[in-house]
Amino acid sequence: MTVRWGIAGPGRIAEAVAGDFGHVPGAELVAVGSRSAARAADFAGRHDIARAHGSYRALLDDPEVDVVYIATPHPQHHALALAAIEAGKGLLIEKAFTATVAGAQEIVAASRERGVFVMEAMWTRFQPALRQMRAWLDAGVLGDVRAVEADLGVVRTFDPADRLFAPELGGGALLDLGVYVVSFAQWVLGTPERVVAHGRLGQTGVEEDASVLLTYPDGVTALLTTSLHSPMPGSARVFGTEGWIDVLPRFHHPTEVVLHRHGAPPEHVLALPDGGGYSHELAEVTACVEAGAIESAIMPLADTLVVQQILADAGQQLGVEWREDPTAL
């Protein structure tokens, strides 16, 4: 079986993802859709894609497409996803999954009601190096996990026209970068009891710096930092009673993890991704769709909903509120 893919939104992230389809047996990128017919045609020409659609609706109506990868700005995910589910298309939705918790809940409910596959495109969980970290954690080599630390920052010159600084496009550090540190902590520790956020709003009202503390039972914590103006290393650590794991920068697509056991020399594991690293999430979706599954066991929808709630709680404390775009189609 060949799973036929379409891309909605031929932007920067879609460029990177499109290049990895050649590393995924059983997956074929056959269509792209954009609000601009010219952009769709240009993208299709550069990536040898058979069909270019000048609207998202035309892409969703394409009978030769089985799965749609949604790579539009965050507030547009909700409307596109619901329309895709209604059309019976499986979905890989770029992170952050939606702009709001309610939007995410609607998509999950529609997926389950219609029996249509949906997954958040958190490529981090599928990186070979982090699969090794997960194996160590599942084997209990750290003893009791007590804390997580993660940071992810970039340096962006302020530009009110840039998506990252535009409130109506879901701008700010949390949905673009904070989603990585929050998802990492949630993957390791689960659902927190409390979310505490502190940060700084910029000229357009989006959060440009944010630190988030997640608290769990028995004093377990996650300390997470993100920024649009600080060149942070992008590192992550998991601490336990028997040692710790370093995820070397940049942690959201690492090639090396290091296990430090108490009283033993460090154990370095190098694990390179296939292609640009997006191939692994594409392979997961392709395999799940072939098997008739409606969600991934590695990136389940319940985890996505927890992450969305944490982001919403942090945003509310910082004084920002995101909205879905009902006009996305």
Question: How does pLDDT run across 124-174, given as a tens digit for each residue?
Answer: 999 999 999 999 999 999 999 999 999 999 999 999 989 999 999 999 999
Which residue ranges in the chain fall short of pLDDT 70?
A: none
The active-site residue, picked from 95, 253, 260, 280, is 95
**3-class SS at 126?**
helix
Q: pLDDT tens, 22-62? A: 999 999 999 999 999 999 999 999 999 999 999 999 999 99
Q: What is the pTM of this model?
A: 0.97
Give, in degrees to the nearest 5, the angle at Cα 315 between 212 and 222.
20
The per-residue pLDDT for 1 is 83
Residue 77 near residue 99 (C-beta atoms within 8 A): yes
Give, in degrees to the nearest 5, the angle at Cα 222 between 322 and 302.
55
Backbone angles phi, psi at 258, to 5 degrees: -130, 125
The per-residue pLDDT for 257 is 98
Among 94, 206, 209, 216, which residue's Cα sits nearest to residue 146?
A: 216
For residue 216, CA distances in Å to 19, 131, 256, 290, 308 come to 40, 24, 28, 38, 17
95 an active-site residue? yes
